[in-house]
Chain A
Amino acid sequence: MGSSAEWGLVIAVFAASVVEVVEALTIVLAMGMTRSWRSALAGTGAALIALVGFTAAAGYALANWLPESAMQLSIGTLLLIFGLQWLRKAVLRSSGRKALHDEAEEFAEQTEAARHAGQRRRFGLDWFSFVVSFKGVFLEGVEVVFIVITFGLSAGNMPVAAAGAAIAAVLVVIFGALAHGPLTRVPENTLKYGVGLLLATFGTFWAIEGLGILSPHGESLEWPGSDFALIALLAGWYLLSRVLVKALRRPTSAPATPSQPTHGTASLPAYTATEEA
Chain B
Amino acid sequence: MSFLKGFGQFWYDFIIGDDWKIAVAVVVVLTAGAIAVATGGTESALLVPLLAVGLGAAFTTALLIDTRKT
| A residues in contact (CB < 8 Å) with B | 73, 77-78, 80-82, 84-85, 87-89, 91-92, 97, 135, 138-139, 142-143, 204, 207-209, 211-212, 214-216, 221-224, 233, 236-237, 240, 244, 248
Contacts and interface: CB of A to CB of B under 8 A. Distances in A.
Given A207-B30, A208-B48, A244-B63, A214 B38 contact: yes
Given A221-B48, A222-B48, A248-B67, 5 more contacts: A88-B59, A135-B10, A139-B14, A208-B30, A212-B37
Contact of B44 (A80, A82, A85, A221): A221
A85 B67 contact: no
B19 A204 contact: no
B17 interface: yes
Contacts of B52: 204, 208, 233, 236
27 contacts: A77-B26, A77-B27, A77-B30, A81-B16, A84-B25, A84-B26, A84-B59, A85-B17, A87-B59, A88-B18, A88-B22, A135-B10, A138-B10, A139-B14, A143-B14, A207-B30, A208-B33, A211-B34, A211-B51, A214-B37, A221-B37, A222-B45, A224-B45, A224-B48, A233-B52, A236-B52, A248-B67
